[in-house]
């Protein structure tokens, strides 16, 4: 059986923020970090509401995975409802990363870009995947971890608690061991201190308190651009297990535990909760598939009384159909870049940027990027609204440069 042998927690304003929008909850065996977002102190309100949802502990009769999902979904409903009822809180949201320590395992519920790590046998392993623009680009192989750490849009998150009526929660259950040290933190730490430096600090510290203070100090020394929150807790084996032998490997045993089942959803606009049990602990879980918006249902034609159609009209309709078919065939060889009106996301379209009578579009959606139009540099926005015809490679190269933050 495992128990918590040592713990430390702390939060710092940083060097560039006027207020602290981070909040945390520490009551063993439950540890939670929430990093709020939103103007007029709405972020502070959202993160506070999130951690308040954990005050009563996990609901009775549920597994840790089910309990964490329930609490995060409950926080999402409360925050979303308040943001709709109070105009000054509109759009507020927060990240949530929660860790629950069981007898032999640690379960993590996660939404956003706060993180959870484990430090085992001198190695630091990340246990969560960032729900952020660059996190998705890394998952899709378009950025390396090193490029993501320095990407100018690394703070743009794609999933959080509160902005939408429903939220998708990632749940991970890990077999833990005596000697493990877990770190739960806001991105105010990880955006300023790279993981190799975090590992060195944990290796050299004489206690968790020293490690926590050194981590916050390192983030401030690097610029302290955001609030910094750190929770550390260590585990020990109390039933005679060989902790030293257990700590000799960094590999984790993971399983698809008691997480409730549900359909996997896209991360842009979730529709209903979904929990994902991770089957690989050495790498972040597979990214949920980004789905393009569903096309609008076809318009139902109005019913009309039958009339005899003149032969000339039939000939005109046939001619138009032939022309339309020719245009459609030609459109399959060209592409253009535009903005999806339903999601405001920069999108590659295949075809011609025209619409025939009766609502017949000569294009279809080929690839939705990970960038919203409002994130495009102002001077480059006309590039994505002129609908210039391009080759497939030209369109893909343009959007790739945008996703990597290389357009100025």
CATH number for the domain harbouring residue 213: 3.60.40.10
Do both 335 and 389 map to the same domain? yes
List the Cα angle 36/171/193 in 5-degree steps: 50
What is the rounded CA–CA span in Å between residue 231 and residue 119? 13
What's the CA gap between 356 and 296, in Å, rounded?
A: 16
**Of residues 229, 154, 221, 156, the one with CA closest to residue 186:** 229
Q: What is the pLDDT of residue 298?
A: 36
**DSSP track, 197-237:** HHHHHHHH-SSHHHHHHHHHHHHHHTT--S-EEEEEEEEEE
Of the chain, the end-to-end C-alpha distance in Å amounts to 55
Domain assignment of residue 290, yes or no: no
> In the structure encoding, which two tokens stand for residue 106, read together?
């640690």
Within this chain, do residues 25 and 70 fall inside the same structural domain, yes or no? yes
Listing DSSP states for 88-145 in one string gives GGTT-EE-EEEEEE-SSEEEEEEESS-EEEEEETTEEEE-----BHHHHHHHTTSS-H
With respect to residue 300, please indicate whether it lies within any of the assigned structural domains: no
Residues 217 and 137 in one domain: yes
Sign of dihedral through CA atoms 176, 180, 184, 188? negative
User: Which strand (E) or helix (H) includes residue 254?
Assistant: none
Task: For residues 178 and 104, state if they share a domain.
Answer: yes
CA angle, residues 192, 193, 198, in degrees to nearest 5: 160
- Asked whether residue 302 is assigned to any structural domain, the reply reads no
Q: What secondary structure letter does DSSP report for 310? A: P
Distance CA 160, CA 152 (A): 20
- 101 and 239 both lie in a single domain: yes
Residue bearing tokens 């990597």: 404
pTM, full prediction:
0.63
The pLDDT value given to residue 69? 97
Q: State which of 253, 277, 301 marks the end of a domain.
A: 277
Q: Are residues 61 and 208 in the same domain?
A: yes
Domain boundary pick from 262, 277, 292: 277
Same domain, 242 and 185: yes
256, 347: one domain: no
Closest CA to 127 of 283, 289, 231: 283
Helix (H) or strand (E) segment spanning residue 34: strand 30-37
Residue 9 lies in a domain: yes
Residue 306 lies in a domain: no
C-alpha span between 178 and 187 (Å, rounded): 27
- List, in sequence order, every beta strand (DSSP E) within 238-293: 275-277
pLDDT for 248: 40
The pLDDT tens digits along the chain (408 residues) read 999 999 999 999 999 988 999 999 999 999 999 999 876 568 999 999 999 999 999 999 999 999 999 999 999 999 999 999 988 888 899 999 999 999 999 999 999 999 999 999 999 999 999 998 877 887 788 877 777 776 766 667 889 999 999 999 999 999 999 999 999 999 999 999 999 999 999 999 999 999 999 999 999 999 999 999 999 999 999 876 544 444 444 455 543 333 333 322 222 222 333 333 332 333 333 333 332 333 333 343 333 333 444 555 566 666 666 655 555 555 557 889 999 887 888 899 888 887 766 667 778 888 888 788 888 888 888 989 888 888 888 888 888 888 777 777
Strand-strand pairing, 22-27 and 2-12? unpaired
Q: Which domain holds residue 49?
A: 2-277
The verdict on residue 288 lying in a domain is no
Same-domain status, 261 and 160: yes
Instruction: Locate 68 and state its tokens.
Output: 């964490």
Which of 232, 254, 277 represents a domain boundary (last residue)?
277
Cβ 66 vs Cβ 276: under 8 Å: no
Q: Is residue 83 part of a domain?
A: yes
Based on the fold, state whether residues 149 and 233 are members of the same structural domain.
yes
* Matching residue, tokens 């979303």: 80
Q: How many structural domains does the chain have?
A: 2
Q: How far is CA 43 from CA 6, 37, 92, 278, in A?
A: 30, 4, 6, 29
3-state secondary structure (DSSP) of residue 328? helix
**pLDDT at residue 351, as a whole number:** 84
Same domain, 177 and 104: yes
Q: Helix 64-85 vs helix 42-52: angle between axes, to the nearest 10 degrees?
A: 150
Same domain, 54 and 189: yes
Whether 291 maps to a domain, the answer reads: no
């Amino acid at each position: 059986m495992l128990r918590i042998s040592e713990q430390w927690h702390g939060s710092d304003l940083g060097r560039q923020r006027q207020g602290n929008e981070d909040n945390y909850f520490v009551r063993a065996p439950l540890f939670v970090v929430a990093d709020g977002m939103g103007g007029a102190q709405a972020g502070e309100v959202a993160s506070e509401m999130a951690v308040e949802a954990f005050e009563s502990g996990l609901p009775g009769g549920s597994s840790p995975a089910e309990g964490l999902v329930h609490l995060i979904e409950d926080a999402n409903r409360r925050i979303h409802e308040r943001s709709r009822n109070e105009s000054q809180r509109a759009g507020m949201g927060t990240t949530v990363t929660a860790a629950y320590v069981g007898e032999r395992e640690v379960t993590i519920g996660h939404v956003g870009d706060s993180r959870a790590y484990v430090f085992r046998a001198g190695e630091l392993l990340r246990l969560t995947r960032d729900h952020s623009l660059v996190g998705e680009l890394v998952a899709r192989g378009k950025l390396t971890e090193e490029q993501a750490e320095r990407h100018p849009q690394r703070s743009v998150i794609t999933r959080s608690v509160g902005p939408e009526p429903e939220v998708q929660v990632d749940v991970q259950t890990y077999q833990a061991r005596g000697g493990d040290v877990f770190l739960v933190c806001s991105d105010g730490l990880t955006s300023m201190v790279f993981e190799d430096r975090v590992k060195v600090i944990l290796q050299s510290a004489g206690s968790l308190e020293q490690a926590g203070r050194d981590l916050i100090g390192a983030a401030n020394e690097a610029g302290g651009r955001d609030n910094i929150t750190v929770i550390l807790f260590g585990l020990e084996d109390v039933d005679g297990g060989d902790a030293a032998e257990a700590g000799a490997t960094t590999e984790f045993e993971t399983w698809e535990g008691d997480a409730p089942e549900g359909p996997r959803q896209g991360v842009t606009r979730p529709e209903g909760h979904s929990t994902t049990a991770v089957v690989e602990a050495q790498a972040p879980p597979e990214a949920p598939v980004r789905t393009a918006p569903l096309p609008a249902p076809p318009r139902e034609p109005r019913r009309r009384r039958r009339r005899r159609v003149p032969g000339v009209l039939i000939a005109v309709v046939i001619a138009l159909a032939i022309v339309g078919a020719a245009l459609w065939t030609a459109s399959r060889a060209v592409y253009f870049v535009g903005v999806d009106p339903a999601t405001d996301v920069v999108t590659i379209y295949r075809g011609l940027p025209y619409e025939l009578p009766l609502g017949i579009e000569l294009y279809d959606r080929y690839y939705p990027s990970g960038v919203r139009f409002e994130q495009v540099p102002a001077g480059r926005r006309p590039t994505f609204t002129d609908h210039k015809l391009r080759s497939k490679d030209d369109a893909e190269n343009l959007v790739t440069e945008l996703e990597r933050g290389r357009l100025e």
